Structure 1
Amino acid sequence: MRIGVVADATCDLPHEFLQEHKIGVLPVAIHLGDEVLNDVRDPDATLRFYADQLASKGLDAHTVPFTAEQIREKFLADIVLEYDYVFCVTITSTRSAIFENATKASFAILNDYKNARARQGVSGPFALRVVDSKSMFCGTGVLAAEAAKLARSGVGANEIRKRLDELRENIVGYMVPNDLYYIRNRGIKKGEKSIGLLTYAIGSALDIKPVILCYRGETQPVAKVRGYRQAVEKMFRHVAGEIRRGIGTQHLCISYGGPLDQVAALPGYDELAKAARTHGIEILTSIMSATAAVNTGGGCVAVAWGGELNPFA
């Protein structure tokens, strides 16, 4: 059985990993006034977006995921021909309509795939499972990477399904935003109140940065640290401690809202990388997607893995 993995463009994984494991990408359209950028996880295009458009147009941008019909068309055009079983991994349904659209599309795909395969001389059944990662950005990456690795190793579809259902309940993700002004004003435009006026005023005056937890579809601040670099260091040191304690995946994902050559210079990264090497954990580092950047601003650092949620210290 040919098993494939598809993820939406918010899924933060290295470009090389996506290509090596042939992970398909569902694009997200970013509307910037009269311009439209299709986010397909192209690293060069993403860096240009960070450099040329995010600061000037990001606050007014809005993102539009593939509709159910667009997802149906993409699957019937090639994916149902290349694979017999596909896991479609999406950002948490609490933050985007991608999961809902993909679920709607799945019914039409399963009704229509036989004709598409017959026209190309492809025999046999096709199956599709849409998986809500209950995470986002590099957290979605953790789940998609697990699915891709298991598929490559020859694990059957039922075993992969069971593993993903278990893992998505235990993806721990943290992020440190660099620009509270950007996040607060993006939140106002979207009707969110996660960073209130008083909290923002205090945080800006004292340069306080939050460490934000994403777990089981919900986000909340778990620490407030004076200074961006100090907050990143605290987050990375916590993750290093979790690795030493023992995590539930053989990889963790890091994404950064900017050039990747800056990640290794972030405070606390050396300790995290050393712990990962010692315990045989692969670090998958990627540029944070343009779609994510529209909501988090530049310079955001995120990290995620599969495992038990422990108190942040």
Structure 2
Amino acid sequence: MSTVLVIDAACDLPRQFIDERDIQVLPISIRIDEQTFTDDKDARTLTDFYAQGLLGRDHDAESLPFSAEQIEALFLDRIVTQYDFALVQTVSRKRSPIFDNATKASHSILRSYREVRAKAGREGGFGLRVMNTGSLFCGQGLLAAFTSDMIRMGKSKNEILKLTESMRHKVYSYLVPPDVYYIRERARKKGDDSVGMISALVAKSFDIVPILCGRDDETFPVAKGRGFKTSVDRLFQYAIKHIRAGLFTPYVVVSIAGDPNDLLAYESFQELERVAGEHDVRVLSCVMGLTGGLNVGPGCVGLALAAEEHEFDG
């Protein structure tokens, strides 16, 4: 049985890794004023987008994830004729309708795939499962990297589902936003009051920069620092500590809503890469997807790892 992993474009992974692992992507577009941009996970395209400075609060912007009908069309065109089982992993269902859209599409796909598959000369049935990762951006990427390892190892469908379901609860995904007020404004436009006006203004006034954790469909602050660099350094040092202690997966995913080369300006990031290499851990660094950049702001840094249950201790 051939198995394929399908992710949505909110998932932060390097395009090269996605291609190496034959991971399929559900595109996500964002509309900014009168222009529409589609995230195809290409690093140069994404870096150029951030360089244009189009995500300022003075621009009207919204995310445009694939509808159920678009997901169904993509599967019937590209997936059901090439694979026997597909596992779809989505961004937290509390932050996007993608999980619900994919679930709706799955019912139609499983009713209509047989004729399409027969015409392509593909024998046997087709299976499909949609999984809510409960995570955000880098966290999605970490779970996807783990899942692709399971597929490469030839695990059965049931083993993959069991292992990934267990692993998703071990994923810790973090974000350091340069401007909390930006997040508050974007959230407010979507009817999300999780970031209050007072906390946003206080953070801005005193240059307090939080470290946010996205886990099990919840997003909450776990630490803070005076200034953006301080909080980013603190996050990288936290990751270094847990690499040394031992991780559940040999990956740490890091993304930035901007040029990935900017990460090299942090000595703590260079140390992270060095320590990871010493412990056979691969740092997957990439440009943050458009959905992440839209919601948490340009310049935001994200990181994810999988570890034992713990409080943030960076």
State the TM bucket, normalised to the shorter chain: over 0.9
| 1:128–1:73 CA distance, 2 compared to 1 (3 A) | same
Query: Deviation of residue 57 (structure 1)?
Result: 6.9
Q: Which residue of 2 aligns with 1:304?
A: 304
Q: How far apart, in 2, do the equivalents of 1:270 and 1:214 lie? A: 24
Equivalence for 1:96: 96
The alpha-carbon deviation at position 218 of structure 1 amounts to 0.4
Q: What secondary structure sits across from 1:192 in the alignment? A: coil
Match of 1:40 in 2: 40
Q: Which runs of 5+ in 2 are unaligned?
A: none
Q: Deviations over 1:256-311 (max 9, x none)?
A: 11111111222421332233122211111110001111111111111112222312
Alpha carbons 1:232, 1:267 under 8 Å: kept: no
Please show how residues 144-163 of structure 1 align to structure 2 within 5 Å: 144-163=144-163
Partners of 1:81 and 1:53 lie apart in 2 by 40
User: Alignment length, in residue pairs?
Assistant: 313
- 2:274 equivalent to 1:274: yes
RMSD: 1.5
Q: Deviations over 1:226-259 (max 9, x none)?
A: 0110100111111111111111111121111111
CA contact (8 A) 2:239 2:305 kept: no
Paired position in structure 1 for 2:203: 203
Contact 2:33 2:59 in 1 (8 A): no
Residue identity over aligned pairs, in percent, reads 39
Residue 219 and residue 58 in structure 1: after superposition, are their counterparts in 2 closer, same or farther (change >3 A)?
farther
- Residue ranges of structure 1 left out of the alignment (5+ in a row): none
TM-score normalised by the chain length of structure 1: 0.96
Question: Where do residues 217-228 of structure 1 align in structure 2 (5 Å cutoff)?
Answer: 217-228=217-228
- CA offsets 1:124-160 (integer angstroms, 9 cap, x no match): 1111111111101010011111111221222221111
Q: Which amino acid aligns with 2:45?
A: A
TM-score normalised by the chain length of structure 2:
0.95
Contact 1:59/1:182, CA 8 A, preserved across alignment? no
Alpha-carbon distance in 2 for matches of 1:74, 1:292: 23
Check the 8 A contact 1:210/1:222 in 2, yes or no: yes
Deviation at 1:53, TM superposition (A): 4.7
Deviation at 1:122, TM superposition (A): 1.0
The match for 1:2 is 2
Q: 2: CA distance between counterparts of 1:149 and 1:280? A: 15
Contact 2:93/2:99 (<8 A) preserved: yes
Measure the CA separation in 2 of the matches of 1:72 and 1:53: 34
Alignment of 1:164-183 (within 5 A): 164-183=164-183
- Indicate the SS of the match to 2:130: strand
